[in-house]
Structure 1
Amino acid sequence: MLTYTTYSEAGGVGKTTLASNLADAHAQHGRDVLAIDLDPQNGSLTYLLGVDTPREDGDADNIARHLIDRPKGDFHELVEETAYGFDLVPSHNMLENLGDLLGRAESMAEDLGEEFDRWDRLREVLLDAGIPDEYDTIVVDPPATAGPHLYNAIAATRSLVIPLEPTGKGMQSIEGLRDVVQGFEDTVGVTVGVLAVVPNGVGRTADQQRYLERIRELGYDAPVAIGERASLFEGCWDAQRTAFSYVDEVRDRKRDHEMETLEQLHTLARHLEEVSA
């Protein structure tokens, strides 16, 4: 089974864009895919995919309620079919207060003599619902900041796919990645693997090419390096579509460099599938 969290220390490097397009590519490869949106921001995976859900309705059942063991229905009722052949558990505004909610739920469980691990709730919820028996691929997209959303995602998937801007700042995050991963392992109590680093916005400057070499010297897989595609990916957000759908249904003509990018996304998805085999 393939499970991973898209993670980046910095915002704006294409984390959610990558999650949506990898989920689409996996589905095109015939896999049963579930994407889980743990990001409470409005510009989240749910928004990008154009999935309309009652995220502002505090009475509606949602992923946060299940994480604190206060569901209003079966977990499967949260799952939405997307237009891209994969399923989505959408975000909800209640996720904004997930840290406080988990803390209260943990305190109540302790008072009752019950087990409750605030960092392991997503994994437990998925197992209780039988999700691993229904899907062979799970992609979780949490916010970039460290906290309960990210820790639950990592504890559930135990693997990371990391988009990176090949800049000095981006390289600093890669140089310190082993310490970051060790910190995750210490917090959630599991071994965490890095399945791939995905350079994004790569140009042909000598500095950027040197950064790519350094990523591989550090021992990380970087199966593809995606060029500067601001027009394509910004168009995806404007149209609320994956890149595959945007190129196929919105673009008036096929552009060679964009078709190359779609093939790179397929290559990356296949690499991840092979790693998990």
Structure 2
Amino acid sequence: MSGRLQNRVALITGAGGGIGLESSILFAQEGAHVLLVDIKLEAAEKGAALIKERYPNVSAIALKADVGKEEDVKAAVDKAIKEFGRLDVMFNNAGIMHPEDDNALNTEEKIWDLTMQINLKGVWWGCKYAITAMRQNPTDETKGLHAGGSIINTASFVAVRGAATPQLAYTASKGAVLAMTRELAMVHAREGIRINSLCPGPLKTPLLMDFLNTQEKRDRRLVHLPMGRFGEAVELARAALFLASDDSSYVTGTDFLVDGGLSNAYVTALGEPLLPPPASLV
């Protein structure tokens, strides 16, 4: 244990699996007390139990919460303050990718609204209550604790590049997360509160694999990946650790792309026919 988060308190939403779970474990390994928040309490409890077994010198608590409800988000932050006295890291990671999310013609309004409720409003509320809490953080040099804190919002590579497989509501929600993160970072920079977006590329997690539920859909993503593979959740957890720790002390308002080079790739979608040039050019 190198202790990059020694004595700090981290709240992670969507902590029952994927990026959230891997980040919870890694943050604990680095010395943080962790509040694992997930709508699936059993999954969060398993993660907390694993942390307690591996790292008995830190605390890990599981909490059920729906980030699509403001009162649940506030209660989660209040729980962190009650249990640990402060909040140093807020990782707004929970989100959905609805299987019925499609293009502008086919996506139903209820799918759009649900996606925005969780992916955008949930992040807004997480920032709102984390900022309120972090403003109260005292500095304790003996423990390596600072005023302020670090907020990490999970966005996506689709916030900067269109998706070959349509998922309009998801893409729009993640683009909004980027814009919101940048503005909040500027507003609160001089309070010692750093706010950054983490933009994963396609990952081998249930969230994406359940959406890319055919080989054809998976191939349409893989053809855009220079590395030729989906990323692993732990690779994003390592990036989140960087943003959470003092290693990124001069980093705020950034769109941190961890996407296997996808956002810089120039390829055509697999199997798509090439359109002829306009008749005026022939």
TM-score, structure 2 length as denominator? 0.43
TM-score, structure 1 length as denominator? 0.44
Larger Rg: 2
Larger relative CO (CA 8 A, sep 6+): 1 or 2?
A: 1
